[in-house]
């Protein structure tokens, strides 16, 4: 078996680490900084592998490095290498020299780029208005998104297709991706503009991450009253809100009142409280979570609609409706919680 000879042309510190460790164990390893020095090495001996730093591309083409190396050894492998610095560390890539030169002098782009989030990636591919596929490898999953004239028309991952698959990929935190132009989708499962699709998916993800967002929005649409605002309070903090001019002092008073009353008579599931020219209905969802709605109207009707919606979160409506009558206490009688 003959000797394996490797020539590297470029900055040695820019050679991908894994590639350097591989070639440094070759029988003969030569490294030069310039194309001119590389040409001298090629004229002196035959090499089995020639590695050229991508930043030396123009000089390599100008001096016909590939042609000279092939003339010396028709079986030589010639590659361009690149060390890419990213926020998560360095990554090394290499490309067949003939393919790199074909792409560089053709009417298309090919390469690798880093982006911080999935939505920026989708918008970037969509802005080209081309027909293409975007493949993403993240963890143990591989997903593919197909674009036609810039809009997403199909997505699939782990046997899931359409918007459900797209939603799954939106939740990914990172991965490796590549774009292939001219790739037609095997089927069409999404029929939305890219803007409306992203808006819909973002809304779904927010609802999945915080189910109370959807809950409070449903309440605001279904309650038969003049609603000022609606909120969900968890561990004393507002985690979901709809409406404006939310008086957090009122929120603290209502929660404090229910907590103090619970110390006397046991857990209080709900209370209706009159505050100046409007009412606040407060309902306990869990031991540390409340829903509160500020409105003008009939508190008993609001109680009923609220109770029906609470069924979706495991709180029996009958338990609320059949409980004791709502307490009506003027806001002025509340004391600031200690």
199/312 Cα distance (integer angstroms) = 25
| DSSP E strand stretches across 121-260 | 132-138, 141-148, 151-157, 160-161, 176-181, 226-234, 237-243
The pLDDT of residue 197 is 87
Does the structure show a pLDDT above 80 at 85? Answer: no
Using alpha carbons, select from 40, 45, 39, 43 the residue that is nearest to residue 26: 45
Mean pLDDT, residues 152-160 taken together: 94
The model's pLDDT over 182-241, given as tens digits with 9 standing for 90+, comes to 889 999 999 988 888 888 877 777 666 666 777 777 777 777 768 888 888 888 888 888
The model's pLDDT over 245-279, given as tens digits with 9 standing for 90+, comes to 888 888 888 888 777 877 777 777 778 888 878 88
48/112 Cα distance (integer angstroms) = 27
Q: What residues does each domain of the chain span?
A: 5-104, 118-208, 210-333
Q: Is the pTM of this model over 0.75?
A: no
The pLDDT of residue 41 is 92
List the single range of 64-73, 200-209, 286-295 with lowest mean pLDDT.
200-209
Q: Which two tokens stand for residue 159?
A: 């046997």
List the single range of 32-41, 53-62, 139-148, 297-306 with lowest mean pLDDT.
297-306
| DSSP E strand stretches across 98-213 | 132-138, 141-148, 151-157, 160-161, 176-181
- Taking domain 5-104, whether its CATH number is 3.40.50 is answered by yes
pLDDT band of 147, cuts 50, 70, 90: very high
The pLDDT of residue 187 is 95
Does the structure show a pLDDT above 50 at 168? Answer: yes
Quote the DSSP letter at residue 235: T
The model's pLDDT over 6-27, given as tens digits with 9 standing for 90+, comes to 999 988 766 766 677 777 778 8
Strands 237-243 and 270-275, bridge-based pairing: unpaired
pLDDT band of 161, cuts 50, 70, 90: very high
The pLDDT of residue 281 is 83
Place of tokens 């409070």: 216
The pLDDT of residue 290 is 82
Higher-pLDDT residue of 29 and 24 is 29
The pLDDT of residue 322 is 39
189/152 Cα distance (integer angstroms) = 9
45/30 Cα distance (integer angstroms) = 11
The pLDDT of residue 295 is 85
How is domain 210-333 classified at the architecture level of CATH?
2-Layer Sandwich (3.30)
The model's pLDDT over 103-121, given as tens digits with 9 standing for 90+, comes to 666 655 555 555 656 777 8
Sign (positive/negative) of CA torsion 227, 229, 230, 235? negative
Task: Judge whether 151 and 205 are in contact, CB under 8 Å.
Answer: no
3 state DSSP class of 47: coil
pLDDT averaged over every residue in the chain = 77
* Residue 196 burial (C-beta neighbours within 10 Å; 0-12, 13-18, 19+): exposed
Does the structure show a pLDDT above 70 at 319? Answer: no
The pLDDT of residue 88 is 47
């Amino acid at each position: 078996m003959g000797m394996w000879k490797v020539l590297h042309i470029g900055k040695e510190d820019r050679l991908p680490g894994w590639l350097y460790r591989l070639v440094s164990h070759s029988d003969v390893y030569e490294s030069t900084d310039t194309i001119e020095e590389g040409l001298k090495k090629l004229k002196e001996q035959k090499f089995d592998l020639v590695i050229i730093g991508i930043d030396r591309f123009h000089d390599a083409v100008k001096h016909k490095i590939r042609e000279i190396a092939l003339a010396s050894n028709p079986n030589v492998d010639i590659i361009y290498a690149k060390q890419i610095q990213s926020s998560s560390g360095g990554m090394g890539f290499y490309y067949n020299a003939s393919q790199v030169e074909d792409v560089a002098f053709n009417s298309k782009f090919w390469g690798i780029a880093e982006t911080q989030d999935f939505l920026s990636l989708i918008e970037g591919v969509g802005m080209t208005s081309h027909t293409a596929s975007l493949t993403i490898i993240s963890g143990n999953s591989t997903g593919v998104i197909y674009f036609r004239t810039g809009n997403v028309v199909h997505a699939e991952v782990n046997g899931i297709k359409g918007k459900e698959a797209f939603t799954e990929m939106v939740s990914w935190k990172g991965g490796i991706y590549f774009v292939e132009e001219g790739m037609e989708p095997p089927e069409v499962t999404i029929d939305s503009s890219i803007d409306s699709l992203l808006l819909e998916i973002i809304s779904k993800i927010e609802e999945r991450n915080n189910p109370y967002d959807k809950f409070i929005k449903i309440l605001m649409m279904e309650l038969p009253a003049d609603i000022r605002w609606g909120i969900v309070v968890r561990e004393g903090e507002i985690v979901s809100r709809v409406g404006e001019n939310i008086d957090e002092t009122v929120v603290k008073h209502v929660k404090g009142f229910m907590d103090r009353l619970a110390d006397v008579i046991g857990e209080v599931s709900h209370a209706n409280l009159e505050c100046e020219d409007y009412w606040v209905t407060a309902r306990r969802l869990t031991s540390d979570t409340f829903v509160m709605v500020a409105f003008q109207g009939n508190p008993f009707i609001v109680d009923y609609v609220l109770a029906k919606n609470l069924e979706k979160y495991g709180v029996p409506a009958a338990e609320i409706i059949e409980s004791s009558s709502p307490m009506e206490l003027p806001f002025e009688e509340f004391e600031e919680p200690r």
